[in-house]
Every structure is written in C-alpha cells, then in structure tokens.
Chain A
Amino acid sequence: MTGCHQKWNAERALATIRGLADVPGALLPVLHALHTDYGHVPDEAVPLIARSLRLSEAEVHGVISFYHDFRRTPPPAHTIRVCRAEACQSMGCEAVFQHLDGSTGPDLAVETVYCLGNCALAPAAMVDSDLVGRFSIAKADRALAELGARP
C-alpha cells in the first residue's frame, strides 16, 4: 500500500493544495489528497496548507490531530485494521486482535477500528485496502504470511 507513496516534494504538494484551495471547506479534501500522495501529512506541508487556505498553523494542527485517520509520520508498509466494535465483539474479535497485536513491527501496523459496516459477517477486518469478513485467527495468520510482514 505504501509502495505507491511519493517522496516529499514541496512544489508538487503546493500544487495539490492550491488545486483544492477553492473547494468550499477545503481542509479535509486537502489532507486526504496529501495522504494519498505521501501516506501521511508531512510537517513541511502544514505551513503550506495554512498559507494557501488562509488558516493559522495551529488550526491546521488542530484538525489533523482531531481525526483518527490523519497521520504525522509515514505509515508502515502494511496495516491490518481489526474491528473491535460490538457486533464484532459478539463474534470473538478480541481473540483475533490479541493474536495479531504482537505482530506489530516496522512493516506492519495492527490497528483498532470501530465498525467497517460488515457487521453481518463479523468479525471484520481491513487488510491494507481489502475488507475481510469472518476474520479468524487462521485468516489472520494467512494474511500475515501473504503480506510477508516481519513481526
């Protein structure tokens, strides 16, 4: 997933930001666009965003830190997000999460998410960008092997 992320390029980032600056309520679309390009919001981007959208840097920081999705650091190569909300709890997501939790390493993040809308096929998980239903310890192990992630 991260393989397609670009190296920081201030000029290109500024073009991305300016391209969206006239959209009403532009900040979230801008942050999403930077995430698509860089996998996170680099520190260098914050003053560029603030200037282009006529906001203070504090306001931009405030928005980035409010939303769970926005990261300030590059993500690991792979991410497994396990749903730990009620419907998945009722089908034993905790055991799968605990099983995977120890696998977090430089190449892999194991994260909690609250609801992927797959509550009829609980437990649910998102392995990189693939939604997985009936996520079990066996499926988790298979995912780890396929991702080739170093624990």
Chain B
Amino acid sequence: MKVYVPRDAAALSVGAEAVARAIARLGPDAEIVRTGSRGMFWLEPLVEIETPAGRVGYGPVEPETVSSIFDGTHPNALGLVEDLPYLKNQERVTFVRCGVTDPLSIADYRAHGGFRGLETARNMAPAAIVEAVLQSGLRGRGGAGFPCGIKWRTVLNEPADQKYIVCNADEGDSGNYADRMLMEGDPFLLIEGMIIAGLAVGANQGYIYVRSEYPHAFRTLNDAVAIARDAGYLQGFDIDVRLGAGAYICGEETALLESLEGRRGQVRPKPPLPAISGLFGKPTVVNNVLTLAAVPTILDKGAEFYRDLGMGRSRGTLAIQLAGNVKHAGLVEKAFGITLREAIYDFGGGTASGRPLRAVQVGGPLGAYFPESLLDTPLDYEAFAARKGMLGHGGVVVFDDTVDLARQARFAMEFCAIESCGKCTPCRVGSTRGVETIDKIIGTHEPAKNLELLRDLCDLMVDGSLCAMGGLTPYPVLSALQHFPEDFAR
C-alpha cells in the first residue's frame, strides 16, 4: 500500500515528520512516498493513500490519529483528493506534479511528463526556442512582468564567450511561497527550464540564488541538481545552487548579481541591462523560479497552449498564493483573469478569524492595500496597475477588520528603511523620514502639514529611486492613505 506524506517545509511545520514516523510504525507494510505539498495548507499534514479509484486523502492528520487512516475511520477523511473542489477548479500547469510525485525521483518526473519540453528543445534551433517563448506571451513572474522572450532574444543576440542563466529564487515577499513550494515539490521542473534557457541563449552555466530563509528548498535543490548531474542531464550546462544571506534587496536582479559575485547586495544602475552585461559582466538571463518553470510546458505543449490561457496581455497561469488571515490559505494556480474576490472567497473561504475582511495586500510588501470595494479587480498585471496596485508575484495577504492601515503604512516605510541597500538617497533616507512623518501624523502632530509632506516624499521616492524597493514602497503607503484615511486620523 502506497502512502503519500508531504516533506514540504510548510507541512513539516505542522508535524508531517511525526506523522510519517507514526505511519511507518503502525503500518509496517505501508510504502511511504514523501512528496511536495498540494498547496492546501489548512489540510496539512495531508496524508494520501493509493486506492484502485485514486488517491484518497486525510487531513489534517495528527500522529495520535494515524491508526484510523488505515481502517478508513479517520474523522478528517476527504475522499478522492483530485475531486476536492479546491484542486478540481484550478488549472494546474506549472504545479501539476507538486504534491503528487516524489520530488527527487527522476523516474517519477519522467513518468509524469517531465523532460518532454527539453527533448523538444534539443531538436530546435536556439532562435526557434526563443520564438516559442516569445509567442507564448510568458512574462516574468517575479513581479515586473517583463516579456521573457524579449529578454532571451537580447541575450541570444549578444556575442560573448560566456553567458549565464541566473534563477532568482530570493522570494522574500511576505505572502509569497510559490517558489519555495515548487523548489521543494518539483525541482526537476526548474532544472529543466534552466537547461532549456541555456540551449536557447547559448549559456553553459546556471546559478540558482536561494534565500537563506529557505533551508529546505536549498537542500532539495542541491540534491536534485546532484541527481540530475549523475543522470547525465547537466552535460554542457551545469547548475550551481547558491545561498543568500538574509538581504531582501537581493531579490532585485542587479543586487542579486552583485551578491553572486561576492559583494554587498547593492543595486546597479541600469543600463547596462543584465541581458547585455550581467553576471561577471557577461550577458545573463535573470528569471524568477516560476518563469523558468513555465518554459518546459511551453516547449512540450506548444506556445499556443500557454498563450490561450489568461486575459489581455497576461498570458498563461498565475500562481495565486492565499496567505495571512484567510480560512483556506493555499496555492491556487489559475489562468490570469479571475477576480480577487473569487480567489479570496470561492477558494479561500473568507477570513480565518471569521471577522469581516477589511484590506488585502497583493504583491508583497511593495504592493498596494486594496479595500473591499476593489475586490472585483481581475488578477491581471494591467488591471492592478490601473488601480495603482501591483500584481507582483501573486501573493494575496488578507487582513480582517482589526487591521490598522496607518500602522501598515508605517511598517512599509520601516521595512524599506531596514532593507534598503543604501545606494540611492530617496530610498535610504526617504524611508526613515517616512517613518518619522507617519509617526507625527499618528501622533496628531500637525497632521495636515505632515500628510502633505508624506505625499511629497512618496512622489520623490517613486520618481527618484534607483530600483523598485524605494520606487514602490510608496504604493502600500499611498493606498492606505487613499482607501483608509480614517486610520490616520484616530
């Protein structure tokens, strides 16, 4: 009997390891397969048992209740996992294997469609691979949404003796965990995407820069790269997994490159673009985990398959990450275009606390706070930009009515002050002045004057900062001021 227990860090954080040990003790003939997570975190630890009809689930399971999953009397029996509406109503493209397969089994990966994209790409000219990615409409999933194919074409056309593929796995935005889930749950998909990127632009070396807050992902990636290398997949293109050191700014691509080169993670002015002069001064593709992980599907199923999903200029699927105060927090992969309300209520089931929802922050700490009245905004890059928000990496943090948006605005400035790389003045100094000014407003010290000053400071940070850290920190601040002015006048 095959029993599936996740080894995803989030599942481990609520006791999956103890559950796996209890299963091994109580079901000696159980063959335990450790998987990634399905992304239904309120059900973790989620245990699945193989039956002739399919995999049936139990969750959450505690070590004390393990024996009842063997006789089917467990109170948290879920039936066939694939039939759960939360999963059934998704369009899993990138996360199709996550939670299903053993993340470190190449045989499993192949049996579930892995390496098909690479096989296709091996028979294509580099320019044809780039063209397929361009035609798919794939945009950078890290937040900026830049067309991936254009970046790749620039690197392909740049003559150089050495080129690099750098995977940005420095997922530091609160509310975002899709990169971590994928790296722990299906690392070969990322490796396959990087190999294809190498073929497309003529690079023979790849780096994955993982944040140090993700020790599980770091270990899994190192194991997966070693396994792929032993299996012969990394001939002519090798991958090195590097560890960050707790600097949020290294998620910014030029700061990441500085860090990879062994320096302080300070932002570089652009131009030159990394595609022209990136890592060690060589043409470099810098892509987010989910951008690279989308590539194998595009090569395998065709650019049209991917392009036909989505809305407007946002093509393909988005990994929506429901987080914070939401009842059914988890990963929802859907074609772009469902509304924030559908994501939070149809999938998420509303707030975890049961209190009324008051604010939603989409896109991490640099994303705007939206009120209830903006929940019908479709999850689409342009729709969010039109409402002075940012879709970012697809993280959705839900707050109930106990939230104080003046405190949240203050935190946005404080976070920027803590994490600013210090290279440019608007970000380095502006963020500290921002905290002080919000403190004066909250403390009712000449609030009208200081509100005007805060808006002026935000304008300056938006216009004058070198990168998105200082340039977007005003988004949460200004959105809090616009949609929740009453919180600044208490």
Q: Are B263 and A113 in contact (CB-based, < 8 A)? A: no
**Residues of A contacting B10 with CB < 8 Å?**
117-118, 120-121, 131, 133
Please give the residue numbers on chain B whose beta carbons come within 8 Å of chain A beta carbons, in ascending order: 9-10, 12-14, 41-42, 44, 171-177, 179-180, 212-217, 242-248, 259-266, 280, 321-325, 329-331, 352, 361, 365, 395, 397-400, 403, 408, 411, 415, 418-419, 421
Which listed residue (B13, B174, B400) contacts A87, Cβ 8 A? B174
Q: Are A119 and B216 in contact (CB-based, < 8 A)? A: no
Q: Are B262 and A114 in contact (CB-based, < 8 A)? A: no
**Residues of A contacting B217 with CB < 8 Å?**
117
Q: Is A102 part of the contact surface with B, judged by Cβ < 8 Å?
A: no
* 10 examples of A-B residue contacts, CB within 8 angstroms: A83-B174, A86-B324, A114-B365, A114-B418, A117-B10, A118-B9, A121-B329, A126-B213, A129-B215, A131-B13
Render A123-140 as a binary contact track against B, CB cut-off 8 A, 1 for contact: 010100111111000000
Complex CA gap A104/B247 in Å reads: 24
Q: Nearest chain-B residue to A113 (Cβ)? A: B213
Complex CA gap A118/B280 in Å reads: 34
Q: Which of B174, B242, B361, B411 gathers the greatest number of chain A CB atoms within 10 Å? A: B174
Complex CA gap A90/B405 in Å reads: 11
Complex CA gap A119/B393 in Å reads: 14
Closest Cβ of chain A to B223, distance in Å, is 17
Q: Nearest chain-B residue to A35 (Cβ)? A: B245
Please give the residue numbers on chain A whose beta carbons come within 8 Å of chain B beta carbons, in ascending order: 24-29, 31-32, 53, 59, 62-63, 66-70, 83, 85-91, 113-122, 124, 126, 129-134
Closest Cβ of chain B to A132, distance in Å, is 5
Complex CA gap A90/B404 in Å reads: 10
List the 8 shortest-distance A-B pairs measured between CB atoms, nearest first. Answer: A85-B174, A27-B262, A68-B246, A67-B245, A119-B323, A133-B13, A90-B324, A120-B329
**Residues of B contacting A70 with CB < 8 Å?**
245
Q: Are A24 and B280 in contact (CB-based, < 8 A)? A: yes
Which listed residue (B173, B247, B400) contacts A66, Cβ 8 A? B247
Complex CA gap A106/B296 in Å reads: 51
Q: Are B264 and A62 in contact (CB-based, < 8 A)? A: yes
**Residues of B contacting A67 with CB < 8 Å?**
244-247, 265
Q: Are A91 and B352 in contact (CB-based, < 8 A)? A: yes
Closest Cβ of chain A to B259, distance in Å, is 7
Q: Are A90 and B12 in contact (CB-based, < 8 A)? A: no
**Residues of A contacting B265 with CB < 8 Å?**
66-67
**Residues of A contacting B180 with CB < 8 Å?**
117
Complex CA gap A1/B311 in Å reads: 49
Complex CA gap A114/B416 in Å reads: 12
**Residues of B contacting A25 with CB < 8 Å?**
242, 260-262, 280
Q: Nearest chain-A residue to B212 (Cβ)? A: A69
**Residues of B contacting A29 with CB < 8 Å?**
242-243
**Residues of A contacting B246 with CB < 8 Å?**
67-69, 113
**Residues of A contacting B9 with CB < 8 Å?**
117-118, 131
Q: Nearest chain-B residue to A115 (Cβ)? A: B174
**Residues of A contacting B245 with CB < 8 Å?**
28, 31-32, 67-70
Complex CA gap A61/B400 in Å reads: 44
Q: A67-B247, A119-B321, A120-B329 are in contact. Are A86 and B397 (CB under 8 A)?
A: yes
Q: Which of A66, A67, A124 gathers the greatest number of chain B CB atoms within 10 Å? A: A66
Q: A69-B246, A133-B13 are in contact. Are A120 and B177 (CB under 8 A)?
A: yes
Complex CA gap A117/B10 in Å reads: 8
Closest Cβ of chain B to A26, distance in Å, is 6
Q: Are A63 and B264 in contact (CB-based, < 8 A)? A: yes
Which listed residue (A27, A59, A121) contacts B14, Cβ 8 A? A121
**Residues of A contacting B398 with CB < 8 Å?**
90
**Residues of A contacting B399 with CB < 8 Å?**
90
Q: Which of B171, B264, B331 gathers the greatest number of chain A CB atoms within 10 Å? A: B264
Complex CA gap A27/B324 in Å reads: 36
